[in-house]
Amino acid sequence: MALSPGSALAIYPGSFDPITYGHLDLIERGSRLFGRLVVSILRNDKKQPLFDVEERMEMLREAVAGYPNVEVDSFHGLLVDYAARRGATAILRGIRAVSDYEYELQMALMNRRLQPDIETVFLLAGEAYSFISSRLVKEICGLGGNISGLVPPGVEARLRERAARDKA
């Protein structure tokens, strides 16, 4: 199946707990590569996220409001099954370091085996964002550190509110 970026639908999956400027960098670039981009939150009952799925979807919708070809969704189960149901031709994944690549390569090869018509497209993290992870942002915020410039202002406010509530 030929990838025609102008009409192609790609899925950008993740936990987005919370969304960072690193995620937004990939969303912005992905929105230029694909006709439609679905940013989709994996519903994983085994993880204990800081924000529930509905809160994360709300933060994502606020953050991507300026991208008319980007939508926000959530899913459970196998990513490639979800992508196939949505009619996607690609899965977008970000790579920050070699360690990310090793894990992502394994997942991409398994996804290809399960759904050969869906390609995985890797984008390297922008240099300014290559060190940002949701886990580190939550940890820094929880310890009272400065997270401005790492997450959108609305996300920062929610993180600070949650950290204050957890300390009380």
Give the H or E element holding residue 154. Answer: helix 153-167
pLDDT tens digits, one per residue of 105-144: 999 999 999 999 999 999 999 889 888 999 999 999 999 9
Please list, in sequence order, all residues whose beta carbon lies within 8 angstroms of the beta carbon of residue 2, skipping any fewer than 6 positions away: none
Q: Identify the active-site residue in 15, 23, 93, 138.
A: 23
pLDDT tens digits, one per residue of 2-37: 444 568 999 999 999 999 999 999 999 999 999 999
CB 156 within 8 A of CB 166: no
**Tell me, what's the pLDDT at 5?**
54
- The answer to whether residue 134 is catalytic is yes
- The answer to whether residue 76 is catalytic is no
Q: Identify the active-site residue in 36, 86, 96, 112.
A: 96
Backbone angles phi, psi at 21, to 5 degrees: -65, -25
- The answer to whether residue 47 is catalytic is yes
**Tell me, what's the pLDDT at 100?**
85
Class of CATH domain 9-131: alpha beta
- Of 133, 69, 96, the closest CA to residue 141 belongs to 133
Count of C-beta atoms within a 10 Å radius of residue 79: 21
**Tell me, what's the pLDDT at 25?**
96
- The answer to whether residue 74 is catalytic is no
pLDDT tens digits, one per residue of 85-101: 999 999 999 998 888 89
**Tell me, what's the pLDDT at 6?**
66
Distance CA 19, CA 93 (A): 14
**Tell me, what's the pLDDT at 3?**
43
pLDDT tens digits, one per residue of 56-95: 999 999 999 999 999 999 999 999 999 999 999 999 999 9
